[in-house]
């Protein structure tokens, strides 16, 4: 631009220069604006920077809920943030799984699920998600044995007697289940005995076990994490554990193979999941925290009291978990479809 120099009688061309202090001020304002607005060049906050929600597909007080609350505290300590537990019930765990599948993939909503993650595709033909497509696996947690239990005043005292009693009273007996592994174990019992029983579904083991203790239903099959204490107290009657080996927490309880029903063998495995688009960095942090939690002495001791143990550390990985999920889907799909069973 052209400026006039007063008193010179002539003009000259010159450049207006912005003072250095002004440039510094503008730059500072620009940086502040980008940081405040989350500009494209600003780095994302380190994960996690706020509380994390663990979504449980069953009611509070059930086995999956119990396992969740055991690992939540040490995992939260490792991650440096609080983990809150949210129970989302319905449709055999598929409501909760569907919710997490559609959640923002930022690691702040994590699903804990059990064997039902592998049975859902066969039980629910219109399932709104695909377990191997819509989730990333974090790691396995524990394989929980199942127990065949009944109201304490049911006449049979051994599994052999129970089988005979069920055959003779199939039209009147009620078989409770809480979906997932509980429903699957009940199916195996029906197939092994050759009966079709009246099933009573629940949205979790907690309410199912309450009704069993109260004599509202006749018998069921469910995880030691919830049945062990009731068995030891005498509140319910136990017939067998559904694993190849006896459970240390219930040493006098025979296996189904020992008691004459070897066809019924199943354990309920648990694992953590996040939406499929979650970053590998977030997955790695969750996996590391889970690995730390499963070697925590307090967790190990409490799981032992409940009749189970953490899986080996080489199973607490996304890769091992994904292999397990794929194998279990392949195993249970033909069994469920062959039986004509549908999810409720």
Same domain, 172 and 83: no
Give the separation between CA 186 and CA 199, rounded to whole angstroms. Answer: 9
Tally the domains of the chain. Answer: 2
Same domain, 111 and 163: no
42 part of a folded domain: no
Q: How far apart are the first and last CA of the chain?
A: 81
Phi, psi of 62 (to 5 degrees): -80, 175
Helix, strand, coil share of the chain (percent; to 5): 45, 20, 35
DSSP-derived pairing of the beta strands 2-4 and 11-13? antiparallel
Which residue matches tokens 């925290």?
289
Q: What would the two tokens of residue 199 be?
A: 């099933």
CB 225 within 8 A of CB 299: no
Same domain, 279 and 240: no
Last residue within a domain, chosen from 205, 229, 259: 259
CATH number of the domain enclosing 242: 3.40.190.10
Same domain, 156 and 238: yes
Whole-angstrom Cα Rg for the chain: 29
| Per-residue tens of pLDDT for the chain, all 344 residues | 333 333 333 333 333 344 443 433 434 434 344 344 443 333 357 999 999 999 999 999 888 999 999 999 999 999 999 999 999 999 989 999 999 999 999 999 999 999 999 999 999 999 999 999 999 999 999 999 999 999 999 999 999 999 999 999 999 999 999 888 899 999 999 999 999 999 999 988 889 999 999 999 999 999 999 899 999 999 999 999 999 999 999 999 999 999 999 999 999 999 999 999 999 999 999 999 999 999 999 999 999 998 999 999 999 999 999 999 999 999 999 999 988 888 76
Same domain, 64 and 209: no
194 part of a folded domain: yes
Last residue within a domain, chosen from 259, 291, 325: 259
Query: Which range marks the domain in which residue 216 is found?
Result: 145-259
CATH number of the domain enclosing 68: 3.40.190.150
218 part of a folded domain: yes
Last residue within a domain, chosen from 259, 287, 315: 259
Identify the three-state secondary structure at position 269: strand
CB 216 within 8 A of CB 201: no
């Amino acid at each position: 631009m052209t400026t006039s120099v007063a008193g010179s009688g002539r003009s000259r061309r010159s450049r207006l220069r912005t003072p250095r202090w002004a440039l510094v001020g503008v730059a500072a304002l620009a940086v502040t604006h980008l940081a405040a607005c989350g500009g494209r060049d600003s780095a994302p906050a380190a994960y996690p920077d706020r509380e994390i929600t663990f979504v449980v597909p069953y009611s509070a007080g059930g086995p999956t809920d119990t396992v969740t609350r055991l690992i939540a505290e040490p995992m939260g300590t490792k991650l440096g943030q609080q983990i809150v537990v949210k129970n989302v019930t319905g449709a055999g765990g598929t409501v909760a799984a569907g919710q997490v599948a559609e959640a923002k993939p930022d690691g702040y909503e994590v699903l804990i699920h059990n064997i039902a993650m592998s049975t859902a595709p066969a039980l629910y033909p219109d399932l709104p998600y695909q377990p191997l497509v819509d989730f990333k696996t974090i790691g396995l947690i524990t394989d929980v044995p199942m127990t065949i239990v009944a109201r304490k005043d049911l006449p049979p005292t051994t599994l052999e007697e129970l089988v005979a009693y069920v055959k003779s009273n199939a039209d009147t007996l009620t078989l409770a289940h809480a979906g997932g592994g509980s429903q699957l174990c009940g199916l195996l019992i029906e197939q092994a005995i050759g009966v079709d029983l009246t099933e009573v579904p629940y949205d979790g083991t907690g309410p199912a076990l309450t009704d069993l203790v109260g004599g509202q239903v006749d018998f069921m099959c469910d995880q030691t994490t919830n049945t062990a204490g009731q068995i030891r107290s005498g509140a319910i009657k136990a017939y067998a554990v559904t694993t190849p080996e006896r459970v240390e927490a219930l040493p006098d309880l025979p296996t189904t193979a020992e008691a004459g029903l070897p066809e019924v063998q199943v354990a309920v495995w648990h694992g953590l999941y996040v939406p499929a688009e979650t970053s590998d960095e977030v997955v790695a942090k969750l996996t590391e925290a889970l690995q730390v939690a499963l070697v925590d002495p307090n967790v190990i001791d409490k799981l032992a009291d409940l009749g189970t143990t953490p899986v080996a550390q080489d199973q607490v990985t996304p890769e091992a978990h994904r292999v397990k999920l794929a194998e279990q889907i392949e195993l249970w799909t033909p069994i469920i479809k062959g039986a004509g069973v549908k999810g409720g």
